[in-house]
Amino acid sequence: MSNFKLQDCHKKQIKDICDSFNNEPGELINVLHKTQGVFGYLPEDVQREVAQNLNIPVAKVYGVVTFYSFFTMKPKGEHAISLCLGTACYVRGAELVLDEFKKQLGIEVGQVTPDGKFSLDCLRCVGACGLAPVVLIGDKVYGRLDPSKVKEILANY
């Protein structure tokens, strides 16, 4: 499990978020969106705290967190790399680009580099299919990729 230690100030932050949605269990997904926005991810302790505030079982929170791909229980790297594996990118060779990212970073999909600088994930379609294949690093989109460009892009960070 994660090394995350829940501090009192974190509890306050979570409580404020839950209060802003009137502690309404129906707002769970919105609460989790905001909470992940603050912490970057949703470790177990954070989920317990959310459950307590909304007065619902932790299992329910955990069920929702693990159901949706947008929520993550693992921290991301400083620069989160998300490679699009939508169909348009796939047929234009996204897999080869992914292999190159794995090779350059020495990590698998879903992992973070040991220095915490990069994390590698895949997503399905950012809607920039005209630029396929594309990768998102943070909010920046890099398009028309091929494996030979990967090293150059990573050198920017």
Residues that bind another protein (CB under 8 A): 24-30, 32-33, 63-64, 67-71, 85-88, 90-92, 123-132, 134, 141, 143
**Which single residue is written with the structure tokens 């309404």?**
24
Residue 81's SS3 state is: strand
Closest approach of Cβ 125 to another protein, in Å? 4
**What SS3 string covers 102-123?**
HHHHCCCCCCECCCCCEEEEEE
Closest approach of Cβ 133 to another protein, in Å? 11
Q: Which is nearer to another protein, 19 or 24 (CB)?
A: 24
Closest approach of Cβ 1 to another protein, in Å? 22
Q: Which is nearer to another protein, 46 or 134 (CB)?
A: 134
Number of Cα atoms under 13 Å in the Cβ half of residue 36: 19
Q: Which is nearer to another protein, 37 or 114 (CB)?
A: 37
Q: What are phi and psi of 122, to 5 degrees?
A: -115, 150
